[in-house]
Structure 1
Amino acid sequence: MLTELLSGWITHQRWFAGKGRPIDELGVDSDVELSPGLRHLIISVRQAGDHDRYQLLLGTDGDTSGRYSHARIGGDYYDAVYNPDLTGTLLTGMAEGRDLGPLRFRHLEGASIDTSLRSLVLGAEQSNTSLVYGETYICKLFRRLIPGINPELEIVTALARHGAGHIAQPYGWIETDLDGEATTLAMTQEFLATANDGWSLALASVRDLYASLDPSAANAGGDFSAEAYRLGVATAEIHHELAVAFPTGVMESQDVKQLVEDQRRRLAQAIAEVAALAAHARVVEDAYQRMADVVSEMPVQRVHGDYHLGQVMRTTTDWVVLDFEGEPGQPLAERRALSSPLRDVAGMLRSFEYAARHLLADNPDAMALRPRAAEWAALNRSAFLDGYAAGGGRLHAQDTVLLRALELSKAVYEVVYEARNRPTWLPIPMAAFETGR
């Protein structure tokens, strides 16, 4: 029986959120034939009171060639994302605007989609599966389904309609209804085949600095500061484009103080989990109190929400921002909520710190290299902020107070994350609380 095969198979998938817990019930909520040998399933999984839904492209032709044995589910079934002879159906559906049962295939107005391209699964992602068609499109399948329009689809389509730059152009999407809400199943965007991600470029710069005979970050052959400046400009422009495409607002003093209280509560929870953080609590508390005292109101708008060097790509001409989904694991409403654009700025500044310091882990020369790491981070933080201001980003006196509090709030989150997942990286966020920063 298919449900029994799926119960044994799904728990071993990287994108399955309920690992380590028994499945109480698994059912198929939706089963749609997309083409001969290919079905689209929405699978319902119940575990200890939790209810999650996942999507699967089910190959039903038996895989007589054996090419997809690594994706075998059992019987004649396998995960068909790996079969390029079948996945062209997704592009065709979007290009033609098809409706297949409860599934709706759509494309951006005026978009032309080449349906002749064959797909290849890109890498091993944690929660999604991306199919690259030729060197033209990337189609992201959201494996775990959350009712509602995905923030990334919502944002990039709105920005594209306003003619915004710094985004990978969207082409189409697939949706259905879950719990009475239109829900994104997949989206297709421009594939940046020749671009490099910001994290890789930053690490190349740090490695060059560490290997250089000249200890100055500004004199290292791989100086990143010019790119950090351009990225700051691009970030400010994205924030302006988001403010044009979506509603904006102002958080009043009372709400700012409530935000500070929420930050304090999360700090207390973090200290309860990571005792070493208690020694730095005063630094964080002082920053939060200053925020409460100085920030009388806070402009808010749609933001990226999970902004770091891994979310930006450098093309031959400019920086492009990806993955507007927001912070993983947060409720959809929270990811779509208005926030200060300085939240994104703080995230990128923290990412510079990570790029500078993470190569020090297990490095026998770490003590000697720490001054270089600090200089590299300071140089690129300053360049990014200069670029952000030059691009029209707001950085007034009270904004520096807010930015400091948001940076430390992010670092508190990072401390808990590293303690749980990468203990050897814990010194990176802990360095954020050093006095004089």
Structure 2
Amino acid sequence: MSHQLHLGIGINSIGYLARAWPYRTGQRNDFINLEHYERLTRLAHQGRFDAVFFSDHPALMLDATQRPLHSLDPLVLLAVLGARVPDIGLALTASSTYNSPYNLARRVATLDHLSGGRAILNIVSSFSPRVAQNFGADPLPGRDERYRRAHEFLEVSKALWGSWRLSQQDSDDPEHLWDRASARDIDHHGEFFDVRGPLNIPSSAQGYPVIAQAGASDQGIDLAAQHGELIYCSLLNWQAAAEFGARVRARASELGREPGSVRLLPGLVVITAASYEQALRRHEQVSGAGSADGLLARFAQEIGADLSSFDPDAVLDPDLFKSDPDQSRPIGFSQALVELLAHEPLTAREIVRRYEGGHRLVLGTPEQVAHAIIEWWEAGLVDGYIIQLPNLPDDLQTFVAQVVPILQAQGVYRRHYAEATVRQRFGLPQPF
């Protein structure tokens, strides 16, 4: 298939929605249970997902009414899962602010080799002061500094991944196991890093891990355009998706990259039920709001509105959601709401059914969900999605059993894995 729908699945913890956990099957401590993650990965493999995706935030959020979203180290966990489950891509998140390039490049290259070219590295620039406080006394660096460091971090990492290109052919030299000329120093001296190299692991089957990036600020888009191959983002309506994709690809072209080497994979929260009305009721339940009025009350609280005078049927002002460069939540979530309201005059009653957990919300029957997934992809707005499900494993079982067969029957989604590496699966160029 020359053009196919790509789907990744977020399998952090016990579900994407923070207060959905009372409505799932399983044990309370499944978020630290290897068997739970292996079950999810096997379900994702059964559903022929491109990759399992782990975000990361190395700080404990202390609200005990919510499930802990990030606990186990994703790189360590994916090394185990990759050994137990074949084929599926292994996408981990790591911070360029609180890692060193050589150490992370070596660890991710190890995963890439041991998995046969299935590693995906999602680089983020940490935005939370709580994370900074776990790595020393220094305050969180400013956004501009964090993104300069991220650019240099990826430049160094890619140079290291290409610094030892070991030939797969046997050497005819009886005294040398490998060709010394295949390794070279990188001698990097920059603003943040001084690294000699070479890396002590040779390049992998896919050259180096596929680079994912999630950022919607100007600095984030520049990082995505310069280095990103899979772009994870929040896109809430048709026009915003078209404009974001055009902007990232145009910037990539300006930076000398082939625009076609970028894959756009926004987040998509999916709630499936036997009918649309049942999906609405389930949304109210798993969101923790409890009712349609509860969704509105939660929304009013989020925007700081006075409930006594809040009008849920008044058209919302986009300025309510303008981002602060120093905010402690992803700028992309705020920006997505601004862009949605710039294109569509929506009320609070309407908007609470359009997004959840920062991403576009799709709810309905399996047929309605499949149609919504295909619609944007078929129009060329996206290359696929990172699916985020309220509860795990329940909602993944439903998605694999009920939605995937519809996508396959429509001829847009794979029935088996064919490519050896995830780089080949996404149709991305080999770096060297």
**Normalised by the size of structure 1, how large is the TM-score?**
0.24
Q: Pick the structure with greater CA Rg.
A: 1
Q: Which has the higher contact order (CA 8 A, sep 6+)?
A: 2
**Larger strand share, 1 or 2:** 1
